[in-house]
Structure 1
Amino acid sequence: MVVDDEALVRSGFELILNASDGIQVVATAEGAQAADVIRREDPDVVLLDIRMPDVDGLTVLRHIQTLPAPPYVAMLTTFDTDEYILTALRSGAAGFLLKDTEPEQLAQLVRTLAAGGVVMSPKASRALLRSHPGAGAPQDADAARVRLLSGRERDVLVLIAEGLSNADIGARVHLSAGTVKDHVSSILTKLRVSSRVQAALLAERAGLLGDSGDDRDIRDTRDNTARGNGR
């Protein structure tokens, strides 16, 4: 589902995605209509404009998070330094997409989201952190949380931020996917965050990642049972 205040944007995204294998846009809506349409259509993925004049994207996002089985939400934005993005990520968004994303990449990112993934550019995340006062340098509170992790958990956290799935992390550190899943749960608990993208942002703020990931997308696969209906 696509939510945007501009009809041209809605129709453009709908045209591109409906032409992609395995993707169907079940509805489009403006911000004021979004909540009712989402309840009625029950989409797996919502692409949600972060800035709309009638009802802003953050308000719609917060409503979505109250649903019994909320869809995965990616915020749509024109600029990767939009000041609302960090708030959206902390409010449960699974990532964000720029409106000028190439059609082929857009379809792949939607598939990633539908599979329970999160998508965010580390380069853009650094820009976001730098755009907030005091956020660009390592933060003592975040570094203190990271120190609660075991050495193995820190290794897993870095790989989460690199976008690896549990299976890929397991292959890298020679653990089963189930063991990695247990590590991920422990990491989220110790860091006091609710999603892998929030953990990746915290790791960045804590100075754990360095600069090697600038050109990689953060794309990871969350356990699909996180949604109430197992989607």
Structure 2
Amino acid sequence: MLNQAEKTKTLSAVLVDDDHQFRAGIRSLLNFYTVQDQSISVVGEANRPDLALSLVGDKQPDFVLIDMELIGGDGLSLLQQIQDSGSSCKTLVLSGHEEDSWIYQAMQTGADGYVFKSQVTQQLQDAIASIMDDQIYLPPEVATGFFRRFQTTQASLPSQIGQPCDLSERENEVLYWLVQGASNVVIAKELYISVATVKAHLTNIFLKLQVTSRTQAIVAAIKMNLVQS
């Protein structure tokens, strides 16, 4: 059971969108949300990638909500910059683009989830809960079999993903469950190991695959045929 301190802890968020009215609407939604028994506080807003990156560095939010089209840049470049900065914050794309190609690009670049703006009121709270639980969130209508479709696409992997390499037996087991969309807690239960051990294995997997996020590791695993269906 959560103690009182845990119940009152607040998740911090940064909103990045070029439409100030949309940001205001999202801010209002977040004020009513509770995720993992925690309220949400918006600690910063930006309409440009450079301003957003500065906020991420200064505020160190728990998660960032990112539009794909921004003033003076785009969401993909911001996602990459956040990855390169070493920030541990989660990233959730809120986009009006519902085509698979946009989703592929965002997830390949390291986004933890993707929500259609047309369905934001129905999906946003669940999406935030998922990414904060170390899971990947995709709209239900595209989630089924999404990563398996990477096997039949010609999309290139991000340049930082290296060549196939040997993983230990345990690392392969962790990678298998990662591809299934399992959280660290679920992986730990399935393999009868601690969550800390799962995190250690994931760190090694990321290093060997030369990736920086769960989504990039999943994409790499599928493209390299490192896991079986």
**TM-score, normalization by structure 1:** 0.67
Shift of 1:127: 5.1
Given the alignment, which residue of 139, 150, 154 partners 1:133?
154
Structure 1 residues not aligned, in runs of 5+: 136-140, 211-231
Given the alignment, which residue of 191, 196, 212 partners 1:194?
212
Question: CA separation of 1:18/1:125 partners in 2, compared to 1, >3 Å: closer, same or farther?
Answer: farther
Question: Pairwise mapping of residues 58-207 of structure 1 onto structure 2 (< 5 A)?
Answer: 58-65=76-83, 67=85, 69=87, 71-81=89-99, 83=101, 85-103=103-121, 105-114=123-132, 117-120=135-138, 121=143, 123-126=145-148, 130=152, 132-133=153-154, 145=164, 148-207=166-225
Question: CA separation of 1:18/1:86 partners in 2, compared to 1, >3 Å: closer, same or farther?
Answer: same
Which residue is 2:7 aligned to?
A: none
SS in 1 for 2:69: coil
Shift of 1:57: 1.6
Structure 2 residues not aligned, in runs of 5+: 1-13
Shift of 1:85: 4.7
| Residue pair 2:150, 2:219 contacting (<8 A) in 1 also | no
Distance 2:102 2:188 in 1: 34
Which residue is 1:48 aligned to?
A: 66
Distance 1:118 1:180 in 2: 16
Which residue is 1:7 aligned to?
A: 20
Of the structure 1 ranges 80-89 and 199-208, higher mean CA displacement relative to structure 2 is found in 80-89
Distance 1:68 1:122 in 2: 30
Question: CA separation of 1:187/1:25 partners in 2, compared to 1, >3 Å: closer, same or farther?
Answer: same
Q: Which has the higher strand share?
A: 2
- Alignment deviations for residues 31-51 of structure 1 (CA, whole Å, 9 cap, x no partner): 264345445544321111112
| Residue pair 1:80, 1:124 contacting (<8 A) in 2 also | no
- Alignment deviations for residues 67-113 of structure 1 (CA, whole Å, 9 cap, x no partner): 57463222222335454555544544333322234535312322443
Question: CA separation of 1:18/1:113 partners in 2, compared to 1, >3 Å: closer, same or farther?
Answer: same
| Relative contact order higher in (CA < 8 Å, ≥ 6 apart) | 1
Which residue is 1:24 aligned to?
A: 41
Shift of 1:20: 0.8
Cα root mean square deviation, aligned:
3.4
| Residue pair 2:66, 2:92 contacting (<8 A) in 1 also | yes
Distance 2:134 2:194 in 1: 20
Distance 1:128 1:97 in 2: 19
| Residue pair 2:115, 2:123 contacting (<8 A) in 1 also | no
- Alignment deviations for residues 2-61 of structure 1 (CA, whole Å, 9 cap, x no partner): 211223322222221111121122333322643454455443211111123532123333
For this pair of structures, how many residues does the alignment match?
202
Question: CA separation of 1:185/1:10 partners in 2, compared to 1, >3 Å: closer, same or farther?
Answer: same
Which residue is 2:10 aligned to?
A: none
**TM-score, normalization by structure 2:** 0.68
Question: CA separation of 1:179/1:68 partners in 2, compared to 1, >3 Å: closer, same or farther?
Answer: closer
